[in-house]
A and B are shown apart, each in its own frame.
Chain A
Amino acid sequence: GENVEQHPSTLSVQEGDSAVIKCTYSDSASNYFPWYKQELGKRPQLIIDIRSNVGEKKDQRIAVTLNKTAKHFSLHITETQPEDSAVYFCAASYNNNDMRFGAGTRLTVKP
């Protein structure tokens, strides 16, 4: 089955700096790659996703890039703010079946 690895496990940045979280996946058939943000004690919430026919997607300060050949994808957050502090999860699946998640990255944005 699919295996997703996520790095780093913790990330600390100064407010206004950029943050990058990277994930690799093992199954070349995977075609859907969402990113979730989870605040302490809350449910995971989808912040952006990308499908395998697209190399990059942006939504305001958030962008995701996908390299199918290398089987890795990354989350980029620019101009970070304290409210960006949370745990971020990447995931990969083939048509939303049996979605596999990374172990998570705890992002801390210091004011």
Chain B
Amino acid sequence: DAGITQSPRHKVTETGTPVTLRCHQTENHRYMYWYRQDPGHGLRLIHYSYGVKDTDKGEVSDGYSVSRSKTEDFLLTLESATSSQTSVYFCAISESQRGHEQYFGPGTRLTVT
């Protein structure tokens, strides 16, 4: 597996609380992505980054923000968690934009009660 870690791996939180998930890579890849995976929906892109401080929205970005202050770290923040954000979150990295494969992290299971 590519050098990608996610933390925490599991989290239970209450509605209305802020949550930050971390993705860390040791591959020095330029592109990083956050996806959520829900039954019947496959994987859906939340936000992605194409460099330090360069980010853009994906298909399901409402309620999420991201930051990338270093090449190796990409943070996903839920400002005020809702039950609809209960999901498994995967980070992915890619060397370049031009059709290069994306490698996924181990995932974070988030439960919002």
Report A's interface with B, CB cutoff 8 A: 1, 4, 6, 31-32, 34, 36, 42-46, 49, 51, 89, 91, 95-104
B32 nearest CB across to chain A (Å):
12
Complex Cα–Cα for A46 and B48 (A): 19
Find chain B residues with CB under 8 A from A42 CB.
106
A-B Cβ contacts below 8 A, count: 59
B99 and A89 within 8 A (CB): no
B105 and A43 within 8 A (CB): yes
Report B's interface with A, CB cutoff 8 A: 1, 31, 33, 40-45, 48, 58-59, 90, 94, 96-107
Task: Name the 5 nearest CB pairs between A and B, nearest first.
Answer: A101-B42, A32-B99, A43-B104, A101-B43, A103-B42
Give which listed residue, B90, B96, B98, B103, contacts A46 with CB less than 8 A. Answer: B103
Does more than half of chain A's interface fall in helix, strand or loop, or is it mixed? strand
Given A34-B101, A95-B99: 12 more A-B contacts, CB < 8 Å: A42-B106, A43-B104, A44-B104, A46-B102, A89-B43, A91-B42, A96-B94, A96-B97, A96-B99, A97-B48, A99-B102, A102-B42
Give which listed residue, B45, B48, B98, contacts A95 with CB less than 8 A. Answer: B98
